[in-house]
């Protein structure tokens, strides 16, 4: 018996030509499906006086989903419905994150700008009560304290992280996997545990009282994973030919590293340091447990309590007076500005790297 | 080419290589020493926490410490039991992860597969920026800007879905609840999950995606049948990393949660909850020596919890990226 094969072609799916020009009908319906739900929602908010969030979830989202599904169905058929759902969900959730971030940034900037003045930046907190008006006193001592504490931990952590990254990339060590896992585990170390650890090691055991350097030590476990990992990535990006070339010319491994690999990875390492500092500059819990807070400027990191921006913020939120909250917003803005500067510098540093590689 | 069967018997010339110079040996030793320092740090943390926690664990008993629900340093004998805090931490982390996962996957998908290149770059920067905001700043925002708004959402949830046990709230006070703390934690962990998911997405083999599209798949079926299954283990690893961070979150939660030792099993809108890390920092200032020992024990529990979760997570993420050795 002869086998009959049906050779009539199946209809091509509508998605099979993504390059084809979109028909004006399609573009128009997409535009309509974007505008109409928003318009209806705005109408509900403006006319019926509905709560914004309620309107967003109860009115906007269902209408938007139905509208998008209708367009999807008319253009692509039944399968278009799910596709339109995916698009709506992706854009809705993504914009939700932007709104949250925008809200954080805006509230810190608008509230913080009201508190910031030269006296707020440069004066310290001595003689200042939580209810003192904003014209007096500020975070000068806290900025200096933060810089000293983070500076000391940077001095310790960067060589350590660099050498760890060298072990992970330049040597034939056998325990690379374990070290990498440990670094990952350390990256997830709760900051309060790091503070407890240093408290138990130095303060509870009576070696020292609250001091700046214990705070620096408490920041090391938090900073090390970031520095080591980003440095490792930077060293990995250096082409193998460069270091093999140096080795083939007879250079010992350490000279090949110092004179060839290190200069090639320089900007990546700068990025690593900046990101590491940005990671710990706002850490609060370890400093609360190890340096405590101070109202006076203390430039001696090896003795005496030391103020820092996060602990200042911590204290002033806890006071709970209007004036103290204003100061807290100001300090938050100072922290954010420092983080932003570090962050942008890191971006610039890594951009020069990508340019240099081209 | 014919292979000479005798070639194996011919004596091979030995490779001449000099042993490492002394300077190189020092170089490698320094690197090895630094690498083992992370081992030393973790070991020291364990040793000191265990050392300081032992007195409390001995007087309280391990099971009672972990699951009991009284914390009273004035009573004789003193009672330090962590149960409500432990459960509270887990509850908040679950809420945070449930909210953060769809947001993070959406952002990662948007960056990798939907947005044009310049927009994708900008969004990536924004997500990184969100990751860089210190938790205390988020705590300040959460306490004074976000809490009132979220309390409004909670009220709506309670009014419309109040008959569901988890949205039940007889006291009608919606501030400082695990729900709000969970959202604040979600804001903290979205960038972590999103950046790992994005990395996994970006390293996926483009050919299988193109193949799916060429076979008539659309965005949705490609996402559901191709992208998600391929990336799932990496995404799960990212989620676990986020979970670890959520468990250890300290100051941001402190300001938006009413810490209560009256255990709250799941009424997430009620103004009582717990968090191990926040409890440690809030009790530490006025603690007497035996209470400090109990707080150390709490820290130890937190540390072991996050260590286990993070190790599993990094193992999964590493497995999901076999090309990264």
Nearest beta carbon to residue B23 from set A101, A254, A283: A254
Is A119 among the domain residues?
no
> pLDDT below 50 — which residues of chain A?
358
Per-residue pLDDT band at B2 (split at 50, 70, 90): very low
CA atoms of B325 and B318, how far apart (whole Å): 9
Quote ipTM for the complex: 0.86
Q: How far is A29 from chain B (nearest CA, A)?
A: 19
Please write the tens of the pLDDT for every residue from A228-269. 999 998 999 899 899 899 988 888 888 899 999 999 898 889
Is A10 among the domain residues?
no
Residues in chain B: 325
Per-residue pLDDT band at B9 (split at 50, 70, 90): low
By CB neighbour count within 10 A (0-12 exposed, 13-18 middle, 19+ buried), where does B165 fall? exposed
Same domain, A261 and A194: yes
Q: Return the C-alpha torsion angle B203, B208, B209, B211, nearest 10.
A: 160
Nearest beta carbon to residue A83 from set B34, B144, B220: B220
Cβ–Cβ below 8 Å for B244 and A188: yes
H/E stretch holding B71: strand B71-72
Cβ–Cβ below 8 Å for B141 and A187: no
Same domain, A108 and A162: no
Q: How far is A234 from chain B (nearest CA, A)?
A: 14
Task: Single out the residue in A114, A131, A164 at which a domain terminates.
Answer: A114
Comparing B68 with A22, the larger pLDDT belongs to B68
Q: Is the peptide bond before B77 cis (omega within 30 degrees of 0)?
A: yes
| pLDDT above 70 for B72 | yes
Question: Of B133, B130, B169, whose CA–CA distance to B153 is shortest?
Answer: B169
H/E stretch holding A30: helix A24-48
Around A189, how many Cα atoms within 13 Å sit in the side-chain half-sphere? 35
Nearest beta carbon to residue B134 from set A76, A310, A328: A310
Q: How far is A296 from chain B (nearest CA, A)?
A: 20
Cβ–Cβ contact B20 with A under 8 A: yes
Nearest beta carbon to residue A204 from set B36, B52, B106: B52
Report the pLDDT value the prediction gives residue A182, as an integer from 0 to 100. 87
By CB neighbour count within 10 A (0-12 exposed, 13-18 middle, 19+ buried), where does B289 fall? exposed
Nearest beta carbon to residue B310 from set A104, A188, A253: A188
Average pLDDT over residues B226-246: 88
CA atoms of A271 and A68, how far apart (whole Å): 43
Cβ–Cβ below 8 Å for B38 and A183: yes
Maximum Cα–Cα distance for chain A, whole Å? 105
H/E stretch holding A93: helix A79-115
Structure-block tokens of residue A44: 């509900």
Task: Single out the residue in A97, A114, A131 at which a domain terminates.
Answer: A114
| pLDDT above 50 for B17 | yes
Nearest beta carbon to residue B126 from set A98, A166, A288: A98
- Per the CB < 8 A criterion, the answer to whether A163 and A258 are in contact is no
Nearest beta carbon to residue B296 from set A101, A164, A196: A196
- Per the CB < 8 A criterion, the answer to whether B257 and B273 are in contact is yes
Cβ–Cβ contact B220 with A under 8 A: yes
Residues of A in contact with B39 (CB under 8 A): 178-179, 182
Q: How far is B4 from chain A (nearest CA, A)?
A: 32
Structure-block tokens of residue A348: 């610039």
Q: In a 3-state reduction of DSSP, which class is residue B72?
A: strand
Same domain, A81 and A192: no
What pairs with residue B273 in β-bridges? B259
Is A6 among the domain residues?
no
The position carrying tokens 């139905």 is A66
Structure-block tokens of residue B174: 């919606």
Nearest beta carbon to residue A164 from set B38, B255, B299: B38
Structure-block tokens of residue A289: 């447990």
CATH code (residue A188) = 1.10.3720.10
Q: How far is CA A275 from CA A101, A190, A258, A272, B236, in A?
A: 20, 18, 22, 5, 25
Structure-block tokens of residue A121: 């930046």
Structure-block tokens of residue B98: 């449930």
Structure-block tokens of residue A350: 């890594």
Q: How far is A300 from chain B (nearest CA, A)?
A: 24
- Per the CB < 8 A criterion, the answer to whether B102 and A93 are in contact is yes
Q: How far is CA B127 from CA A101, A118, B235, B246, in A?
A: 9, 32, 17, 17
| pLDDT above 50 for B84 | yes
Same domain, A39 and A109: yes
Same domain, A74 and A206: no
Is A47 among the domain residues?
yes
Same domain, A78 and A211: no
Residues 30-69 of B with CB under 8 A from A: 30-39, 41-42, 44-45, 48-49, 51-52
CA atoms of B195 and A42, how far apart (whole Å): 34
Question: Of B275, B304, B289, B85, whose CA–CA distance to A200 is shortest?
Answer: B289
Q: Where are the beta strands (DSSP E) in B132-259?
A: none
| pLDDT above 70 for B21 | yes
Q: Return the C-alpha torsion angle B307, B309, B311, B317, nearest 10.
A: -150
Contacts of B74 (CB under 8 A, 6+ apart): none
Report the pLDDT value the prediction gives residue B19, as an integer from 0 to 100. 63
Q: How far is A1 from chain B (nearest CA, A)?
A: 33
- Per the CB < 8 A criterion, the answer to whether A156 and A220 are in contact is yes
Same domain, A62 and A149: no
Contacts of B207 (CB under 8 A, 6+ apart): none
Q: What is the mean pLDDT of chain B?
A: 86
Please write the tens of the pLDDT for every residue from B177-229. 999 999 999 999 999 999 989 988 988 888 888 888 888 788 888 888 888 88
Is A351 among the domain residues?
yes
Residues of A in contact with B153 (CB under 8 A): 53
Nearest beta carbon to residue A171 from set B31, B219, B220: B31
| pLDDT above 50 for B123 | yes
Same domain, A68 and A103: yes
Cβ–Cβ below 8 Å for B145 and A107: yes
Q: Return the C-alpha torsion angle A34, A40, A42, A43, nearest 10.
A: 160
Q: How far is A52 from chain B (nearest CA, A)?
A: 10
Domains parsed from chain B with CATH numbers: 84-320 (1.10.3720.10)
Contacts of A146 (CB under 8 A, 6+ apart): A281, A308, A309, A310, A338
Report the pLDDT value the prediction gives residue A55, as an integer from 0 to 100. 77
Is A281 among the domain residues?
yes
Contacts of B196 (CB under 8 A, 6+ apart): B234, B235, B237, B238, B241, B317
Number of separate domains in chain A: 2
Cβ–Cβ below 8 Å for B218 and A79: yes
Contacts of A281 (CB under 8 A, 6+ apart): A146, A150, A309, A335, A338, A339, A342, B134
CA atoms of B248 and B277, how far apart (whole Å): 6
CA atoms of B246 and B269, how far apart (whole Å): 19
CA atoms of B150 and A97, how far apart (whole Å): 15
Q: What is the DSSP string of A181-201?
A: HHHHHHHT--HHHHHHHHIII
Residues 262-321 of B with CB under 8 A from A: 277, 280-281, 284, 292, 295-296, 299, 302-303, 306-307, 309-311, 313-315, 318
What pairs with residue B72 in β-bridges? B79
Is A210 among the domain residues?
yes
Residues of A in contact with B282 (CB under 8 A): none
A47 torsion bin: left (phi>0), alpha (psi -120 to 50), beta (else): alpha
Contacts of A168 (CB under 8 A, 6+ apart): A176, A179, A180, A228, A232, B35
Average pLDDT over residues B227-252: 88
Same domain, A198 and A298: yes
Cβ–Cβ below 8 Å for B299 and A253: no
Report the pLDDT value the prediction gives residue A17, as an integer from 0 to 100. 66
Cα torsion B232, B234, B237, B241: sign:
negative
CA closest to B288 among chain A residues: A204
User: What values do phi and psi take at B273, rounded to 5?
Assistant: -165, -170
Same domain, A79 and A205: no
Question: Of A152, A108, A143, A105, whose CA–CA distance to A122 is shortest?
Answer: A143
Any idea what the Cα angle at residue A86 is, between residues A83 and A90, rounded to 5°? Answer: 150
Q: Which of B27, B35, B238, B283 to mutate to test the interface with A (most CBs of A within 10 A)?
A: B35
pTM assigned to the model: 0.87
Report the pLDDT value the prediction gives residue B12, as an integer from 0 to 100. 66
CA atoms of A169 and A277, how far apart (whole Å): 23
Residues of B in contact with A174 (CB under 8 A): none
Same domain, A82 and A156: no
Q: In a 3-state reduction of DSSP, which class is residue B79?
A: strand
Is A164 among the domain residues?
yes
Cβ–Cβ contact B138 with A under 8 A: yes
Per-residue pLDDT band at B265 (split at 50, 70, 90): confident
Same domain, A71 and A28: yes
In terms of residue numbers, what domain contains A97?
Answer: 23-114
User: What values do phi and psi take at B72, rounded to 5?
Assistant: -145, 110
Report the pLDDT value the prediction gives residue B11, as an integer from 0 to 100. 67
- Number of Cβ pairs < 8 A linking chain A and chain B: 265
Residues in chain A: 358
Q: Which of B17, B25, B134 to mutate to test the interface with A (most CBs of A within 10 A)?
A: B134
CA closest to A98 among chain B residues: B126
Cβ–Cβ below 8 Å for A317 and B139: yes
The position carrying tokens 């110092």 is A258
Cβ–Cβ below 8 Å for A163 and B26: no
| pLDDT above 70 for B71 | yes
By CB neighbour count within 10 A (0-12 exposed, 13-18 middle, 19+ buried), where does A161 fall? buried
Residues of B in contact with A13 (CB under 8 A): 216, 218
Report the pLDDT value the prediction gives residue A2, as an integer from 0 to 100. 65
């Amino acid at each position: 018996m002869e086998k009959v094969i049906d050779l009539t072609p199946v209809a091509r799916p509508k998605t099979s030509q993504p390059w084809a020009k979109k028909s004006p009908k399609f573009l128009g319906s997409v535009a309509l499906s974007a505008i109409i739900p928003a318009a209806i929602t705005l109408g509900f908010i403006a006319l019926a006086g509905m709560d914004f969030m309620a309107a967003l979830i109860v009115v906007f989202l269902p209408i938007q989903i139905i509208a998008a599904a209708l367009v999807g169905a008319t253009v692509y058929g039944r399968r278009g419905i799910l596709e339109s759902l995916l698009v709506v969900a992706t854009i809705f959730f993504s914009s939700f994150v932007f709104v949250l971030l925008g809200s954080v940034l805006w509230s810190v900037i608008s509230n913080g700008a009201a508190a910031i003045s030269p006296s707020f930046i440069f004066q310290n907190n001595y003689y200042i009560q939580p209810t003192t008006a904003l014209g007096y006193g500020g975070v000068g001592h806290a900025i200096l304290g933060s810089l000293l504490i983070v500076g000391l931990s940077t001095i310790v952590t960067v060589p350590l992280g660099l050498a760890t990254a060298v072990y992970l990339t330049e040597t034939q060590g056998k325990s690379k996997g374990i070290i990498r896992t440990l670094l990952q585990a350390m990256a997830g170390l709760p900051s309060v545990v790091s503070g407890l650890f240093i408290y138990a090691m130095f303060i509870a055991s009576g070696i020292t009282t609250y001091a700046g350097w214990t705070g620096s030590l408490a920041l090391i476990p938090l900073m090390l994973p970031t520095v080591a990992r980003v440095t490792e990535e930077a060293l990995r990006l250096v082409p193998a030919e460069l270091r093999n070339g140096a080795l083939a010319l007879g250079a010992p491994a350490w000279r090949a590293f110092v004179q060839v690999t290190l200069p090639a990875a320089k900007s990546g390492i700068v990025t690593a340091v900046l990101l590491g500092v940005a990671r710990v500059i706002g850490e609060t819990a370890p400093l609360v447990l190890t340096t405590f807070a101070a109202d006076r400027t203390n430039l001696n990191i090896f003795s005496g309590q030391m103020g820092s921006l996060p602990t200042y913020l911590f204290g002033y939120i806890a006071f709970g007076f209007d004036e103290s909250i204003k100061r807290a917003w100001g300090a938050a803005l100072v922290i954010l500005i420092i983080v932003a500067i570090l962050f942008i510098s890191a971006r610039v540093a890594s951009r020069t790297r990508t340019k240099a590689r081209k | 080419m014919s292979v000479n069967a005798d070639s194996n018997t011919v004596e091979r010339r030995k490779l001449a290589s000099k042993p490492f110079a002394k300077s190189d040996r020092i170089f490698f030793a320094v690197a090895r020493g630094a690498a083992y320092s992370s081992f030393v740090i973790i070991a020291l943390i364990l040793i000191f926490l265990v050392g300081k926690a032992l007195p409390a664990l001995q007087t309280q008993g391990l099971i009672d410490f972990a699951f009991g629900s009284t914390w009273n340093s004035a009573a004789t004998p003193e009672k330090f039991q962590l149960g409500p805090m432990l459960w509270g931490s887990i509850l908040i982390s679950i809420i945070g992860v449930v909210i953060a996962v769809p947001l993070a996957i959406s952002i990662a998908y948007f960056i990798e597969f939907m947005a044009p290149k310049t927009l994708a770059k900008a969004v990536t920067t924004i997500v990184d920026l969100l990751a860089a905001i210190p938790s205390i700043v988020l705590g300040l925002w959460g306490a004074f800007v976000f809490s009132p708004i979220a309390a409004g959402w909670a009220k709506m949830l309670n009014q419309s879905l109040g008959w569901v046990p988890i949205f039940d709230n007889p006291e009608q006070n919606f501030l400082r609840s695990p729900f709000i703390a969970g959202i604040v934690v979600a804001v903290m962990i979205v960038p972590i999950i999103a950046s790992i998911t994005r990395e996994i997405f970006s390293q996926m083999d483009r050919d299988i995606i193109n193949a799916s599209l060429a076979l008539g798949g659309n965005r949705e079926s490609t996402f559901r049948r191709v992208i998600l299954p391929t990336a799932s283990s990496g995404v799960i690893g990212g989620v676990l990393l986020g979970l670890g961070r959520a468990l250890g979150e300290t100051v941001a939660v402190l300001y938006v949660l009413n810490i209560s030792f009256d255990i709250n099993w799941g009424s997430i809108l009620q103004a009582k909850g717990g968090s191990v890390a926040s409890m440690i920092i809030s009790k530490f200032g006025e603690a007497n020596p035996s209470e400090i020992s109990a707080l150390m024990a709490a820290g130890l529990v937190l540390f072991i919890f996050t260590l286990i979760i993070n190790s599993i997570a990094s193992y999964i993420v590493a497995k999901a990226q076999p090309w990264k050795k």
